[in-house]
Structure 1
Amino acid sequence: MKYLVRDKIFAIGDDYWIEDEQGRRAFLVDGKALRLRDTLELKDPSGHVLITLRKKLLSLRDTMTVERGDAQLATIRKKRLSLLRNHYRVTLVEGTELDVSGRILHREFVIEYDGELLAHISKQWFRVRDTYAVNVVREDADPALMIAVAVCVIRMAEKERDDD
């Protein structure tokens, strides 16, 4: 299933919709302004919070947490040694690790588990500027989690670029 993200409104405090292949609103990304740390909520169309993304305050490397309800679901960090490509590791609470690699800032990357493709993020399917797709390839992959990971690593990569 493909989800369409219009990228130009990625700023703290901005809200934007993510649509499914049929053009229906599937998820709302709600940026929380005026918070001590960077926080985003991924909501369903009726406004229920599915996933919360938070920047960790005290960590040596940029780290964001993924929460579902009151429980932490995952931690996202940039891998230390990644010379040619952006590379992030998503560690789920039960120990499973997802690998995110590719050209994050160009919106051309993949999310994999143990070498198997879960989602492909790409701008190549669209001619519209600042638009990309999150194509959830595996049927048993959680679309909300895949979208949250994509939004999170893009935000982290953009922040790192801006800090340099």
Structure 2
Amino acid sequence: MRYLVRDRMLAFHEEAWIETEHRQKLYRVDRKLFRLRNTFAVVDVEGRQIAGIVKKALTFHHTLLIKQNGTVVARVSKRAFTLFRDRFTVRLSDGRRLAITGNLWDREFDIQHQGTTLAHISRRWFSIRDVYTVDVLHQPDEILLLVVAVCVDHILQDLKGEKLTNL
């Protein structure tokens, strides 16, 4: 199933919507409090929280924890130091590890488990609103895969901002 993630860059409270390919709104990613409290939420259209995302403090690399019903279900990390490529790690609470492969800076990447592609993420740069698609190929984990894609995108945005402020 194809989903669209639409960032509202000009919105005061920085939100993104996850929609079907037919533009039916399903989930809202609310980053209003992320800068202050290091957390944001993914809620459905009725306002029920589907997942919480918490930025883990005091780490050498960017780490986001994905929580559902108060329990950590995944940890998305990007190593601070790698020689030739970006290195993301996604560890699920059931012990599985997911790989993020592809061209991360151009937002063309896959989420894989043991060589099987679970989702493909593709970003279009030339639009007023940033939009990227998430093609979920593995249905049972679709919400988790959507949230992982949002986390990877958020970490990359943070890193982009850090590089601009360090110049």
Deviation, 1:34, is 6.7
Q: Please name the residue that 2:52 is paired with.
A: 52
Structure 2, unaligned runs of 5 or more: none
Cα deviation, residue 81, structure 1:
3.4
Q: Distance in 2 between matches of 1:96 and 1:51?
A: 19
Task: Tell me what 2:143 maps to.
Answer: 144
Summarize deviations over 1:35-77 as a string: whole Å, max 9, x none: 6442121111111111111110121211110100111111111
Query: 1:3-58, CA deviations, whole angstroms, 9 ceiling, x for partnerless residues?
Result: 11123529894223211022110111111427644212111111111111111012
Partner of 1:27: 27
In structure 1, the residue corresponding to 2:42 is in which secondary structure?
Answer: strand
Q: Kindly indicate whether the alpha-carbon contact (under 8 Å) linking 2:72 and 2:93 is maintained by their aligned counterparts in 1.
A: yes
The question of whether the paired residues in 2 share the 8 Å contact of 1:32 and 1:39 is answered with no
Kept in 1: contact 2:29–2:42 (CA 8 A)? yes
For this pair of structures, how many residues does the alignment match?
161
Aligned twin of 2:162? 163
C-alpha contact 1:120 1:135 (8 A) present in aligned 2: yes
Any conservation in 2 of the 1:37–1:57 contact (CA below 8 Å)?
A: no
Local SS of the residue matching 1:123: strand
**Equivalences for 1:11-160 in 2 at 5 Å?**
13-33=13-33, 36-79=36-79, 80-81=81-82, 83-84=84-85, 86-123=86-123, 128-129=127-128, 130-140=130-140, 142-160=141-159
Q: Which one-letter code corresponds to 2:61 in the other structure?
A: R
Taking a change above 3 Å as real, the CA distance of residues 82 and 45 of structure 1, as seen in their structure-2 partners, is farther
Instruction: After superposition, give the CA deviation of every residue in 1:92-136 in whole Å (9 maximum; x if it has no partner).
Output: 112110111222232211100111000000136x97452210110
Matched letter for residue 147 of structure 2: A
> What is the CA–CA distance in structure 2 between the aligned matches of 1:145 and 1:95, rounded to whole Å?
15
TM-score by length of 2: 0.84
- AA partner of residue 138 (structure 2): R
Output the amino acid matched with 1:63. Answer: T
What residue identity is the alignment partner of 1:73?
Answer: V
| Superposed displacement of residue 83, structure 1 | 1.3
Over 3 Å counting, the alpha-carbon distance change for 1:52 and 1:82 in structure 2 is farther
Counterpart-to-counterpart distance in 2, 1:131 and 1:103: 17
Return the letter of the residue paired with 1:105: W
User: In the superposition, relative to structure 1, how do residues 34 and 155 fare at CA in structure 2: closer, same or farther (>3 Å)?
Assistant: closer
Unaligned runs of 5+ in 1: none
Partner Cα separation in structure 1 for residue 70 and residue 134 of structure 2: 26
Name the Cα RMSD after superposition. Answer: 2.4
